[in-house]
Amino acid sequence: MQQVALLRCPHCTSELEGLSEDVLFFCTECGRAWTLEEELVRTPITILGVPASGTLLLPFWLARASVGVSQRITRRRSISAAISASRHFTAHEERGLQETGGHQGTESFIIPAFACTRALSIAVALKRNPPPLRRAQLDSYPPVVGGSVSPADAIALAHAVAVGAEVEEKDFLASVDVELEPKDVSVLAIVCPAGKLGFQIDDTGVPVTYESMEDAADILAHNGMEGFLT
């Protein structure tokens, strides 16, 4: 089992608890979130939902970014036969290509801040069906699970989600350039009810299985919920 990392909140000097791989910590005394870089850096946080028995507040990165799509080249039709096109796409060697108009705009991405083998698919599902961004009204600061995914890794996953959105378009995509420039990154702590197989991200219907969470046993044990794995 991973060891608990003992750090102190730069604001109120209370101890910050977390697992050994965590880079994201929360203070239950003053309610602040901190990202460990070369030092602890304050990170904006919004808590969504009111925690209750059998739930945890799982952390997610909320990244707002400028997304620019350019050089979007499509085929006139799908090419399925190997003889029809080379293995690697080369614009000069393939006929029937056309460049469609690009676009640019600001988009939001919600990325798991905890280690998860299904992080990309969860991020895609939350892009399609994000939770309502309503800040919870709380009388005290509840414990929030720490995060082991850095903001930089979250931005890389957000870029992958943006590329995937272009691939899923109904035209026959041959190639595309997608540039993503982050504007701001904050944390969403979302109430997630625990079940026999995993968590459910509140108000989204998106599941997070224990099997996909690298630290599921440690997270549940650290929060007194070991019984959910038996």
pLDDT at 5: 46
Its pTM stands at 0.85
Buried b / exposed e over 59-85, threshold 16 CB at 10 Å, is bbbbbebebebeebbbbeeeeeeeeeb
Supply the pLDDT for residue 3: 47
Question: Alpha helix locations (H) across the chain?
Answer: 119-128, 151-167, 216-222
| Cβ–Cβ < 8 Å for 222, 69 | no
Cβ atoms of 31 and 43 closer than 8 Å: no
* Residues composing the chain: 230
Closest C-alpha to 180, from 158, 164, 165: 158
Terminal Cα distance for the chain, rounded: 17
Domain ranges across the chain: 7-229
Q: What is the pLDDT along the chain (230 residues), one digit of tens a residue?
A: 444 445 899 999 999 988 889 999 999 999 999 999 989 999 999 999 999 999 999 999 999 999 998 877 877 665 544 444 444 545 555 566 777 777 889 999 999 999 999 999 999 999 999 999 999 999 899 999 999 999 999 999 999 999 888 877 766 777 788 999 999 999 999 999 999 999 999 999 999 999 999 999 999 998 889 888 86
> Any idea what the Cα angle at residue 144 is, between residues 26 and 107, rounded to 5°?
90
- DSSP assignment of 140-192 equals S------B-S-HHHHHHHHHHHHHHHHHTSSSEEEEEEEEEEEEEEEEEEEEE
Helix (H, G, I), strand (E, B) or coil at 73: strand
Pairing between strand 45-48 and 103-112? Answer: unpaired
Name the nearest CA neighbour of 122 among 190, 172, 169, 45.
190
DSSP state of 2: P
